């Protein structure tokens, strides 16, 4: 393709020291004449270099050399909701797989739609790939669809309504909970009731609820859904499923168990989301449903490295411990 000839020529000039950081490139008209290419082909070549972060466009001034290290194949926009132990694990696995082939810029939207939209729209022409964790209350479909499908990789949450042939590595929140409950059905049936503790700020909560209600409906399981655990709604004989990312509900359950001289795993059951080191030893071990965030990051990196488009369901694992 002719535009790649232009791009390679500019890269060679940077490698040879003929062009340095901050140097302005010839105008589009000059490049068109020098390389006997149409202006549209020249712009394709310049956009290709911009996406890789090698040059940058300055409004009404032209194109300038941005970096001298031009050996990386990719420039990746990585947008996360917020930093947690698990998201750090995901990113580190992604980075380790691509650190020798890519420049990776990390951004955070903190569940703020305006920040999410601004970051994406301002950078649409600056990266070869966009890796996005789109966990927000608002519908972000329109913004995500601005990203060309072949450059779009959705992580963790399977956003509905996206167009084009794009990639995703995501959790099946409904299916994973349903499957986990089926796996421990014999243990659940020893208790009086199954209780889903579902705070209002869990962005994927409707999917967890879907899996929970499907299981309870299919097996005639007595159940209820509450937003938080307190002394007033805590009861012996219940199995609690907790999702609070700060584990506040786990702490409240254990405090009530101690206060009432009950035994976890016998009088009260507990299934918690996402495994932390402390859950392995706390109260003899907490049963968890946990996504494999390392695998999720590695699979997203492999999609880029292999120039492959796919939608990959990343399975969660159930780790049974003495709390159930």
Nearest to 77 by CA among 187, 151, 3, 166: 151
* Cβ neighbours, 10 Å, residue 76: 25
C-alpha–C-alpha distance, residues 68 and 19, integer Å:
9
* Cβ neighbours, 10 Å, residue 259: 10
Token representation of residue 71: 């050996």
* Backbone dihedral angles phi then psi of residue 40, each to the nearest 5 degrees: -65, -35
C-alpha–C-alpha distance, residues 123 and 269, integer Å:
48
The radius of gyration of the chain's CA atoms, rounded to the nearest angstrom, is 25
C-alpha–C-alpha distance, residues 198 and 28, integer Å:
56
| List of residues 6+ apart from 5 with CB closer than 8 A | 35, 45
Q: How far, CA to CA in Å, does 126 sit from each of 57, 104, 280, 305? A: 9, 12, 43, 19
C-alpha–C-alpha distance, residues 107 and 105, integer Å:
7
Residue 87 CA from chain centroid, whole number: 7
Contact 178, 211 (CB under 8 A): yes
H-type alpha helices, 132-240: 141-144, 173-183, 185-188, 205-219
| List of residues 6+ apart from 21 with CB closer than 8 A | 65, 66, 67, 68
**Pairing verdict, β 55-58 and 62-65:** antiparallel
In tens digits, what is the pLDDT along the chain, a chain of 324 residues? 788 888 888 888 988 889 899 999 999 999 988 899 999 999 998 988 888 888 888 888 999 998 887 777 888 999 999 888 899 999 999 999 998 889 899 999 999 999 999 999 999 988 999 999 999 989 999 999 999 999 999 999 988 899 999 999 999 999 999 999 999 999 999 999 999 999 988 888 999 999 999 999 999 999 999 999 999 999 999 999 999 777 899 999 999 999 999 999 999 999 999 998 889 999 999 999 999 999 999 999 999 999 999 999 998 999 999 999
* Backbone dihedral angles phi then psi of residue 259, each to the nearest 5 degrees: -60, -35
List of domains in the chain: 2-65 (1.10.10.10), 74-171+293-315 (3.40.50.2300), 173-290 (3.40.50.2300)
pLDDT of residue 48: 85
Contact 273, 289 (CB under 8 A): yes
């Amino acid at each position: 393709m002719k535009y790649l000839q232009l791009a390679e020529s500019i890269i060679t000039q940077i490698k040879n020291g003929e062009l340095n950081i901050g140097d302005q490139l010839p105008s589009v008209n000059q490049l068109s004449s020098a390389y006997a290419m149409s202006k549209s082909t020249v712009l394709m070549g310049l956009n290709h270099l911009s996406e890789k972060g090698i040059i940058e466009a300055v409004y009404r001034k032209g194109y300038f050399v941005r970096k001298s290290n031009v050996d990386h194949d990719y420039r990746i926009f990585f947008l996360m909701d917020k930093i947690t132990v698990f998201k750090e694990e995901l990113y580190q696995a992604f980075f380790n797989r691509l650190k020798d082939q890519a420049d990776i810029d990390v951004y955070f939207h903190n569940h703020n739609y305006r920040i999410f939209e601004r970051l994406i729209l301002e950078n649409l022409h600056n990266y070869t790939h966009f890796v996005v964790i789109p966990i927000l209350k608002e519908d972000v479909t329109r913004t995500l669809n601005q990203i060309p499908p072949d450059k779009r990789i959705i992580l963790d949450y399977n956003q509905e309504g996206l167009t084009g042939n794009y990639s995703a590595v995501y959790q099946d929140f409904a299916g994973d909970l349903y499957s986990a409950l089926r796996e421990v059905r014999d243990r659940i049936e020893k208790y009086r009731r199954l209780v889903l503790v579902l705070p209002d700020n869990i962005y994927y909560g409707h999917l967890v609820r879907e899996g929970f209600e499907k299981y309870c409906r299919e097996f005639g399981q007595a159940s209820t859904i509450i937003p938080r655990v307190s002394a007033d709604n805590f009861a012996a004989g219940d199995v609690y499923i907790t999702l609070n990312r700060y584990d506040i509900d786990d702490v409240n359950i254990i405090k009530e168990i101690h206060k009432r001289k009950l035994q976890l795993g016998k009088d009260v059951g507990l299934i918690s989301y996402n495994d932390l080191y402390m859950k392995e030893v706390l109260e003899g071990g907490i049963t968890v449903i946990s996504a494999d965030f390392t695998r999720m990051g590695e699979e997203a990196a492999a999609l880029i490295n292999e120039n492959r488009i796919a939608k990959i369901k990343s399975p969660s694992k159930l780790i049974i411990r003495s709390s159930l």
